[in-house]
C-alpha cells in the first residue's frame, strides 16, 4: 500500500532521514519506536508530505506522491492523520470539526456529513459532545474527536504522530482503546508512539528507528523478547 524508497530528509545541514526503505501492506498496524531525534516523526510526516522529502520516492497505492504531477491534496484525503497536540479547530464545535473537510471538499452533503459525524462520535464514545467546543473537553476526549475527524474522510490509512504523548496518564487508556478498536476493524495504521504495551498488543510489526534509519524490525513478540541490535537492546532496557 505504501512503498518508501531511499527516503532522505534534511533540515538545512541536519540530515534527519538517511535513505529509509520500507513497505507497508494494507491492513498492517506498523508501530514505530525509537529515541527522540531518531527521525520517526519526520518519517511519518513525510508519508503524507507534511514534510517534503529531500530525495527518494513514496508510492501510495501505485501513485508516486513525491512526483510534481501528483495533487497531494487528493492523496491526503485518503490518509488521515492524528497529531500529538490534537490540533482541533478551536473556533468550531466538535460536529463542525468533523464535518469541515467532507463538506468543504464536496465529498458529502451537509446532511450526509452530519450523519457521518454523529456515527463517528458514537464510535469514539462521545455522542453527547457534538455541540461542545474543543476547549470544553479533556485532552483524552479531544484526541478521540481528532481521531473521529481523521476518519471523516474515510481514509485508507491512518497516521498517528505520538497520539498519547500530550495526555495526562489517566487519559492515555481511553485513546489507546479507540485505536485498538480501529485496528480490530482492519484499518491500516502507522503509529509513532512511546507506548510499548500498545506496540506489543496491537502492532503487527514494530520498527525501531535510530539515527535516521530503521535499524531493526520484527513482529512484536520476537521484537521485544529477542532484540538483536545493541542500540535497541539499550533502548528497551531503558523504557521497559
Partner 1 sequence: MPVMGINLESWLAAAPAWIQSLPDGLQELLFQLYQTFIYQDRWTWFTDGLKVTFITTICALLLGVVLGLIVAIIRTAHDSQRTGKRNPVLGVVNFLCTVYLTVIRGTPMMVQLLVMGFVIMQPREQHEALICGIITLGINSGAYVAEIARSGLMSISAGQMEAGRSLGLNYWQTMRYIIIPQAVKNILPALGNEMITLLKDTSLVSVIALRDVTQQAKNIVANTFNATVPYISLALIYLVLVLILTKLLGIFERRLRASDRR
CA dist 174 and 89 (Å) reads 21
CA atoms within 13 Å, Cβ hemisphere of 175: 30
Chain position carrying cell 535497541: 232
Nearer to partner 1, 86 or 223 (CB): 86
Q: Which of 97, 17, 91 is nearest to 51 (CA)?
A: 17
Nearer to partner 1, 156 or 224 (CB): 156
Measured in residues, the chain has a length of: 240
Nearer to partner 1, 20 or 150 (CB): 150
Nearer to partner 1, 80 or 220 (CB): 80
Nearer to partner 1, 48 or 193 (CB): 48
Taking the complex as a whole, the smallest distance from the CB of residue 203 to partner 1 amounts, in Å, to 22
Nearer to partner 1, 94 or 206 (CB): 94
Taking the complex as a whole, the smallest distance from the CB of residue 118 to partner 1 amounts, in Å, to 19
Residues that bind partner 1 (CB under 8 A): 48, 50, 52, 73-74, 76-77, 79-81, 83, 85, 87-91, 100-101, 104-105, 133, 135-136, 149-150, 152-153
Taking the complex as a whole, the smallest distance from the CB of residue 41 to partner 1 amounts, in Å, to 12
Taking the complex as a whole, the smallest distance from the CB of residue 2 to partner 1 amounts, in Å, to 15
133: left (phi over 0), alpha (psi -120 to 50) or beta: beta
Angle of CA points 208, 209, 214, to nearest 5°: 90
Residue pair 25/38 in contact by the 8 Å Cβ criterion: no
CA dist 106 and 205 (Å) reads 36
Taking the complex as a whole, the smallest distance from the CB of residue 163 to partner 1 amounts, in Å, to 13
Taking the complex as a whole, the smallest distance from the CB of residue 71 to partner 1 amounts, in Å, to 9
Q: What is the CA radius of gyration of the chain?
A: 18
Q: Beta 157-161 vs 14-24: how paired, if at all?
A: unpaired
Amino acid at each position: 500500500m505504501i512503498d518508501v524508497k531511499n527516503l532522505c530528509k534534511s533540515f538545512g545541514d541536519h540530515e534527519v532521514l538517511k535513505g529509509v526503505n520500507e513497505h507497508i501492506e494494507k491492513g498492517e498496524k506498523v508501530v514505530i519506536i525509537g529515541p527522540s531525534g531518531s527521525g520517526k516523526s519526520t518519517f511519518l510526516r513525510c508519508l503524507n508530505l507534511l514534510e517534503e522529502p529531500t530525495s527518494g520516492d513514496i508510492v501510495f497505492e501505485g501513485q508516486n506522491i513525491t512526483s510534481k504531477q501528483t495533487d497531494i491534496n487528493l492523496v491526503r484525503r485518503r490518509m488521515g492523520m492524528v497529531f500529538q497536540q490534537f490540533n482541533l479547530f478551536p473556533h468550531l464545535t466538535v460536529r463542525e470539526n468533523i464535518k469541515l473537510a467532507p463538506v468543504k471538499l464536496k465529498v458529502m452533503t451537509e446532511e450526509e456529513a452530519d450523519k457521518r459525524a454523529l456515527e463517528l462520535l458514537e464510535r469514539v464514545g462521545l455522542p453527547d459532545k457534538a455541540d461542545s467546543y474543543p476547549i470544553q473537553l479533556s485532552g483524552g476526549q479531544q484526541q478521540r474527536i481528532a481521531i473521529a475527524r481523521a476518519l471523516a474522510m474515510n481514509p485508507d490509512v491512518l497516521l498517528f504522530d505520538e497520539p498519547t504523548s500530550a495526555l495526562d496518564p489517566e487519559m492515555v487508556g481511553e485513546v489507546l482503546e479507540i485505536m485498538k478498536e480501529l485496528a480490530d476493524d482492519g484499518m491500516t495504521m502507522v503509529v509513532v508512539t512511546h507506548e510499548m504495551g500498545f506496540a506489543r498488543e496491537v502492532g503487527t510489526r514494530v520498527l525501531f528507528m535510530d539515527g535516521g534509519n530503521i535499524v531493526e524490525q520484527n513482529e512484536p513478540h520476537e521484537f521485544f523478547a529477542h532484540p538483536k541490535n545493541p542500540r535497541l537492546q539499550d533502548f528497551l532496557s531503558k523504557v521497559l
